[in-house]
Amino acid sequence: MTADTGEKLDLLGYDRSALEALLTQLGEKPYRAQQILKWLHHRFVDSFDEMTDISRTLRSTLAEIAEIREPRILQEKQSADGTRKWLLEARSGSAFEMVFIPEAGRGTLCVSSQVGCALDCSFCSTGKQGFNSNLGAGEIIGQVRVAVKALTAARDDRNRVVTNVVFMGMGEPLLNFDNVLPAARLMMDDLGYGISKRKVTISTAGVVPGIRRLAAHTDTALAISLHAPNDALRDTLVPINRKYPIAELLDACREYLAGLGEKRTITVEYTLLDGVNDQPVHAAQLAELLQGFACKINLIPFNPFPGSNYRRPSGISVRAFQERLVAAGYSTMVRTTRGDDIDAACGQLVGSVHDRTRRQERYRKIAGA
Ligand code: SAH
């Protein structure tokens, strides 16, 4: 408990086991956690007073030591294709983004795990913003709560609008492991948002120790941002490759799959950059690299942003790349660009990051601004 530091506990971020532990510490029966979770994540209360099946004493103790605080909406935009984007306020004072993508039969929420990102992949606009801070577990699960509330205001199938969550917003989820894990557990818990473990996807640029830790603690779906079929090229696009090269990354994924004890696949994300990694030779190398690796390939045509030097390949060359992989036996999808009229497409999320790394300054200098 952090009550002695004057800071209140961020109750939204407590998963079932953490809440049970807290209640036990308070001398309460652990099953009270179930009641509290329903109030927080099914009925969306904002105060302990509203938890009417909890004793007054416990309510006032909780009000003293804890708070219910979801991220505040600063701005909301809706794309012509139905995609919605919210700008949310982080505790640190910076702002971050969240996107909802409706499709026939499913609704995918793309959540952020950090304000900014420390990894600086060369084609990602979040990276260019530099890094500010980790989001807390409550700020991560709070995004799902904010979205479900906003999307279900006029309907009664409250929890079923968000069917999938992907950690593909701002930040590198595996560099904020301790907050991402409880949030992911709450997404999957029936007393939270009841989303199937196959539909909560953690996407990583390749933080190998994080993948190993993930394997020890949960069984969500895993996506890796590969973007290149060899280390020399990947080093230039995804700098963390210099620390954890492709072979190590794929090994960690194989271990992750082996530990699940059921047949699952890894999603391989591959952003296509015109003339950089989209040539026939790259498709051939990729097909060879991934031989025997249980995966689905997701091709993402590059989404441009101000100041980026890359170009999106033509539709024809995207299709040609896809066809080469399909011919080699891989299930390969092209991720359709959604919400780019409101800058909500992959790699376009920027929020408003008070950079602590001076990276923005460096990029402005390089751009000669
Ligand atoms: N840090 C996590 C989540 C990042 S965003 C990760 O790296 O996986 C989700 C995906 O969008 C990643 O695969 C990322 O590489 C990709 N992406 C980033 N910028 C992009 C851009 N400008 N165009 C297309 N895809 C992009």
Q: What is the pLDDT of residues 84-93, one digit of tens each?
A: 999 999 998 9
Give 98's strand partners. 86
DSSP readout, 93-132? S-EEEEEEEEETTEEEEE--SEEE-SS--TT-HHHHT-EE
Q: How far is CA 121 from the centre of its chain?
A: 16
CATH architecture, range 9-67: Orthogonal Bundle (1.10)
pLDDT top residue among 304 and 155: 304
Using the mean position of ligand 1's atoms as its centre, give its distance from the Cα of residue 124 in Å: 6
* Of residues 86, 99, 98, 165, the one with CA closest to residue 339: 99
Task: Tell me which of 20, 97, 139, 172 is the catalytic residue.
Answer: 97
- CATH 3.20.20.70, the chain: domain bounds: 72-367
Answer yes or no: 346 catalytic.
yes
CA distances to 98, 328, 332, 352 from 110, in Å: 6, 30, 21, 17
Q: Report the alpha-carbon angle 159-101-196, nearest 5.
A: 45
Spatial separation of the C-alpha atoms in residues 27 and 157, rounded to whole Å: 36
Using the mean position of ligand 1's atoms as its centre, give its distance from the Cα of residue 299 in Å: 11
Among 123, 164, 222, 277, which is best to mutate for testing ligand 1, by the most ligand atoms less than 8 A from CB?
Answer: 123
pLDDT higher than 50, residue 330: yes
Kindly give, in sequence order, each residue whose CB lies less than 8 Å from that of residue 67, ignoring residues fewer than 6 positions away. Answer: 8, 9, 10, 11
Answer yes or no: 7 catalytic.
no
pLDDT tens across 138-154, in order?
999 999 999 999 998 75
pLDDT tens across 108-141, in order?
999 999 999 999 999 998 888 899 999 999 999 9
Among 168, 202, 297, 305, which is best to mutate for testing ligand 1, by the most ligand atoms less than 8 A from CB?
Answer: 168
Lining ligand 1 with CB less than 6 A are 121, 123-124, 168, 172, 203-205, 225, 269, 271, 300, 302-303, 346-347
- CATH 1.10.150.530, the chain: domain bounds: 9-67
What percent of the chain is modeled with pLDDT above 90? 80
Residue 241 — pLDDT band, cuts 50, 70, 90?
very high
* Of residues 225, 223, 254, 255, the one with CA closest to residue 239: 225
* Of residues 228, 282, 222, the one with CA closest to residue 257: 222
* Of residues 160, 247, 254, the one with CA closest to residue 215: 254
pLDDT higher than 70, residue 77: yes
Q: What is the pTM of this model?
A: 0.93
Give domain 72-367's CATH superfamily. Aldolase class I (3.20.20.70)
